[in-house]
Amino acid sequence: MKRSDLFEQVKQDFANEFDINVDELGKDFLAISAVLTTYNYSLLIRLNAIKNNTWPGGSDIETLLIVGSDKLGRLPFPAASGIYTCETTATQGTTEISKGTRFKFNDYVYESLDDVNPGDDIQLRALTPGTESLLAIDDILMAEAPLISAQDTIKVKSIDTAPSDSEDIDDYRQDVVNSFTLRPNGGNASDYILWASDVSDIRTVYPYAANGEAGKIKVYCEGVSQFQPGAAKIDEVIEAIKYDSEGVGRVLVDLFDFITDEYIVPVQISDVNIVLNGGNLGQQAQAEQIVKDYLYNIRPYLPTLNKTRDPEKDTISQQGIIKALSDGGITFGSLIIKIKPLGGLETTVTQYKIGDADDPSKYGEIGVLETLTIN
């Protein structure tokens, strides 16, 4: 409620009490109404703050962190630096490349972790945490200061530890909410989601009964944003599912052999190709972000977890995208959605249900929007 609305309500209450028109209230009553409005409005703000902070889904950040730390036993995952093994090339002499030697790639600096002989592999850690400093295999780095017995350039040989970004506060909030709303059920869908929430860079998982394998569960792992979980991250999910935080095996998972390592796989998320035609080319980047935000909230329906299906949450629809673009101020005349299911052919549709629990070919399917043409 706005302060002005509350002021009008207080004046109307006085008028009703004395059975007169609001316009007949004298200056004294107007002054009293203003004082009462200020007092009650302050009280209303405080009560709303208390109400919102009773549930982590709508609480302020400070309350969310306090509740999350207690319930999850952790704060949001911080950004982590990547660690890489690089090849060095010896020249003349035997002077070691000392620990702490710094190398650069573009604007980012990487530091060696140990003393190494020239010609041996060297391990580096990025000084800037997060995926912004990610290196690729065969990238070339330059030493900040000339090396004595080795070439000044080194080449990335392997990514030993992939970097990760800090956990988005909305993803953390969802984990906290899940810790209250999802109950442990001895191997039900909610258990896998709760277990996986202890792994950084994993947004959530989608457990399905494995098609054609009685008594087996297949778990699809979704990374945060566009992060594609690699083998190392999948191994972390496997550990989180099989063992608790103290390293003790989960009895029911082990006893009934619900899951095998090869049945924990990453969700495939494809890049979205957005074609913006007409006079809207200046809105291309904005339109792309709006559509990506829309798609980020379209996720599979799990009948073992959700009692009722909400079509707006698991269906990519022409109507939903049009609304998102319109709300974002994008002007256009028409919109064409082309869907390319995993392993399938591209087809034009008005809506498409992802991760269909009734269709094994769509299990864990998220990255299906191939082309979006806006005219």
* Parent domain of 248: 182-266
d(CA 308, CA 236): 31
Q: At residue 375, does pLDDT exceed 80?
A: no
What confidence score (pLDDT) does residue 222 get? 86
Asked if 252 and 279 sit in the same domain, the reply is: no
CATH number of the domain within which 90 lies: 2.40.30.10
What confidence score (pLDDT) does residue 307 get? 64
Asked if 236 and 316 sit in the same domain, the reply is: no
Nearest to 229 by CA among 364, 344, 138: 364
In a domain, 70, yes or no: no
In a domain, 262, yes or no: yes
What confidence score (pLDDT) does residue 271 get? 60
Q: Which residue has the higher pLDDT, 168 or 284?
A: 168
> Could you tell me the pLDDT band of residue 145, with boundaries at 50, 70 and 90?
very high
What confidence score (pLDDT) does residue 135 get? 95
d(CA 89, CA 74): 43
Q: What is the mean pLDDT of residues 192-220?
A: 83
In which region does residue 355 sit, left (phi positive, over 0), alpha (psi from -120 to 50) or beta (all else)? left
Which positions ≥6 away from 174 have C-beta within 8 Å?
204
Q: At residue 247, does pLDDT exceed 70?
A: yes
> Could you tell me the pLDDT band of residue 107, with boundaries at 50, 70 and 90?
very high
In a domain, 69, yes or no: no
Give tens-digit pLDDT for 251-309.
655 545 555 667 777 776 666 677 766 555 677 778 888 888 888 888 888 876 766 67
What is the DSSP secondary structure assignment for residue 167, as one 8-state letter? Answer: P
Asked if 365 and 292 sit in the same domain, the reply is: yes
Asked if 329 and 359 sit in the same domain, the reply is: yes
Q: What is the mean pLDDT of residues 129-139?
A: 93
Asked if 99 and 114 sit in the same domain, the reply is: yes
Asked if 258 and 283 sit in the same domain, the reply is: no
Q: Which amino acid is at 155?
A: K
Asked if 255 and 298 sit in the same domain, the reply is: no
d(CA 121, CA 154): 9
Average pLDDT, the chain: 83
Residue position matching structure tokens 């009703």:
16
In a domain, 177, yes or no: no
In a domain, 74, yes or no: no
Show which of 266, 299, 314 is a domain's final residue: 266
In a domain, 65, yes or no: no
CA–centroid distance for 124 within its chain: 27
In a domain, 351, yes or no: yes
Asked if 286 and 366 sit in the same domain, the reply is: yes
> Could you tell me the pLDDT band of residue 159, with boundaries at 50, 70 and 90?
very high
Paired tokens of 155: 């080449």
**How many structural domains is the chain composed of?**
4
> Could you tell me the pLDDT band of residue 206, with boundaries at 50, 70 and 90?
confident
Asked if 206 and 253 sit in the same domain, the reply is: yes
Asked if 256 and 287 sit in the same domain, the reply is: no
Within 98-243, residue ranges assigned H as helices are 169-181, 189-196, 231-242
Strands (DSSP E) found in 106-201: 108-112, 122-126, 140-143, 153-161
CATH number of the domain within which 233 lies: 3.30.300
Show which of 244, 266, 288 is a domain's final residue: 266
Residue position matching structure tokens 């780095």:
141
d(CA 165, CA 208): 28
Q: What percent of the chain has pLDDT over 90?
A: 24
Asked if 277 and 357 sit in the same domain, the reply is: yes
In a domain, 63, yes or no: no
Show which of 130, 161, 192 is a domain's final residue: 161
Q: At residue 50, does pLDDT exceed 70?
A: yes
> Could you tell me the pLDDT band of residue 99, with boundaries at 50, 70 and 90?
very high
Beta-strand relationship, 140-143 and 122-126? unpaired
Q: Which amino acid is at 154?
A: I
Give tens-digit pLDDT for 30-42.
778 888 888 888 8
